Amino acid sequence: MFVPYSAVVIARALRQRRVSRRALTDALPRAAAVVPQPFDEREAVRVLVARGLDEGTIRTGSIGAGHLRFLDRAVREHLRTEPPHRALHVGNFVGVSLAALTGSMLGVAGGSDPVVVSIDPNIPHIDINDPQTATMAVLTHFGYQPYNVVICGYSLEKSLGTDGFGTEEYEPERAFATEAACENVLLSLAAVGLQLDVAVVDGSHNAAYLRRELEAIVPLLRVGALLVLDDVTDAWAGIRDLFGELGAPGSAWPLEALDHDGRIGVLRRASTEAAGAVDAGKAEPALAAERSADSSARP
């Protein structure tokens, strides 16, 4: 039987590649088993400062230690769903609150492995140019990387960085044209059937944008799941008022208010029967319409 010489060459190359790959694998040190560590806000900040980030900038853009402890207590005391648990975190910045949420989810895991999905477009924020790299460093330091899926994207349509507020180093309107990340990630998560036990939303501070985020997120929450909003304060009156609407008696939202520490507001997903105008049938069509919206409406 005649075998083309080219086939012989290809077979030899493939065999050599297998041998080389095996030799390389054998030469690499065996990775130690990852043992997740308890989260500590001061340690997270120390890790980031060691990478050259300014401590004041880190703390300005991150949820503070006291509020993170409040979040941890809320998850441990109020979560009413069975493991395995799935969480969503919107707005990562440099990963401090994302790591804190992961630590809390591991604390209630009940022997199963939680999964935390997060969404952030990795654009400059408070003059930190590559926040996703910092986020991954924090997750890796605490041994949380195996429990996280970090998505570089926008929850809905592309929006201005830093909520449109510019600094000496970063002008959102000028940067907008060149910034690129996946859009409408919430629509994609709904399409694959993700169900959530906890959702922490700390992305856009535009109340109208946040409302549409929640219209997409609430249908993904299992009954008994927690919805957590950051910056429920007088400084962000739109978020404060929306939080009050979400948990108000008789509200169309299938949510009940649980707690508030002066900054973080916690709600729980009520039974399906309690759902009013906001339900699973409305989120996906609304987001689909947004995806095809006239681009002229964007900056």
Residue range 57-91, pLDDT digits in tens: 999 999 999 999 999 999 999 999 999 999 999 99
Domain count, the chain: 1
Does residue 47 sit within a domain?
no
The arithmetic mean of pLDDT across residues 30-57, rounded, is 92
Q: What is the dihedral of CA 187, 190, 195, 200, to 10 degrees?
A: 10
Does residue 58 sit within a domain?
yes
Does residue 119 sit within a domain?
yes
Note the pLDDT of residue 60.
94
Lowest mean pLDDT among 75-84, 111-120, 174-183, 241-250: 174-183
Residues of the chain above pLDDT 90, percent? 68
Alpha-carbon span 153 to 171, nearest angstrom: 19
Does residue 83 sit within a domain?
yes
The arithmetic mean of pLDDT across residues 133-153, rounded, is 98
Helices 96-107, 131-141: axis angle to 10 degrees equals 30
Model confidence at 175, in pLDDT bands (50, 70, 90)? low
Does residue 178 sit within a domain?
yes
Residue 7 has pLDDT above 80, yes or no: no
Alpha-carbon span 118 to 215, nearest angstrom: 17
Does residue 82 sit within a domain?
yes
Averaged confidence pLDDT in the chain: 87
Note the pLDDT of residue 102.
98
Give the domain extent around 151.
Answer: 54-297
Does residue 24 sit within a domain?
no
Locate tokens 């109208």: which residue? 208
CATH of the domain at 288: 3.40.50.150
Note the pLDDT of residue 278.
57
- Give residue-wise pLDDT tens across range 144-158: 999 999 999 999 998
**Residue 117 has which token pair?**
């999905």
Does residue 38 sit within a domain?
no
